[in-house]
Amino acid sequence: MSLPQSVKILINYFAKLPGIGPKTAERLVFYLIKQDKNLLHGFAQSIIHVKDRVTRCQECGQISEAEKCQICLDKTRNHSQVCLVAESMDIASLEKPGAFAGIYHVLGGLINPTEGLTADKLNIKSLEEKLARGEVKEVVLAMNPTIEGETTNIFLNKIIKKYPGVKVTKLARGLPQGADLEYADEVTLANAFSGRIQV
């Protein structure tokens, strides 16, 4: 193909992003070429800023521009409830419904030995330090309902059990809102039965 070198290079960068194939990358670059110079400079600057400015919260491990994230600094939140998540991104999803007023702790992944992610690579030490201080009354396990998520849950449950007085819970399993019984999978239906609640 006869594309200019600088265009090919940018297409390659976009094609490295998750979920973006070579065809989509091409389309994005052709779109960008048509845009205003200021927008492209802003975009480029923003990529550099995000790497230079974003660090991890010392308390919970989520991405933050300061030493402590806004959630850990928020005194109005319930610091005795800690919600364990795999990635910073999960916090964005869990915060949207506004159903949880505690704090978070980011593991940085899920146990997955086939991909070389063993428990020692997760952010567990600082969790234990937090538990050792004795302020935490409940840990909510909010990992994805997958094999890796369940493996991580089992492992963490054992660790948390070492600290008496800490209740361990996990997010409810069942039918998602708006679901159709006819199309629900067997595991979801089994979970909906076993976790049924009195009305």
With respect to a copy of itself, which residue has the nearer C-beta, 93 or 157?
93
Provide φ and ψ at 115, rounded to 5°. -100, 15
Interior angle at CA 70, CA 41 and CA 81, nearest 5: 140
Query: What's the min distance (Å) between Cβ of 42 and a copy of itself?
Result: 7
Query: What's the min distance (Å) between Cβ of 199 and a copy of itself?
Result: 33
Compute CA distances 24 → 15, 19, 90, 127, 182, whole Å.
8, 9, 26, 40, 35
Q: Which amino acid is at 49?
A: H
With respect to a copy of itself, which residue has the nearer C-beta, 42 or 134?
42
> Residues with Cβ < 8 Å from 23, sequence gap 6 or more?
none
With respect to a copy of itself, which residue has the nearer C-beta, 14 or 163?
14
Candidates 89, 160, 81; CA nearest to 124 is: 160
With respect to a copy of itself, which residue has the nearer C-beta, 7 or 184?
7
With respect to a copy of itself, which residue has the nearer C-beta, 96 or 196?
96
In eight-state DSSP terms, residue 176 is: P
- Return residues touching a copy of itself (CB under 8 A): 1-7, 9-10, 13, 16-20, 24, 26-33, 37, 39-51, 53-54, 63-65, 69-71, 87-89, 91-92, 95-96
Candidates 149, 102, 158, 103; CA nearest to 128 is: 158
Query: What's the min distance (Å) between Cβ of 8 and a copy of itself?
Result: 10
Query: What's the min distance (Å) between Cβ of 192 and a copy of itself?
Result: 26
Query: What's the min distance (Å) between Cβ of 177 and a copy of itself?
Result: 18
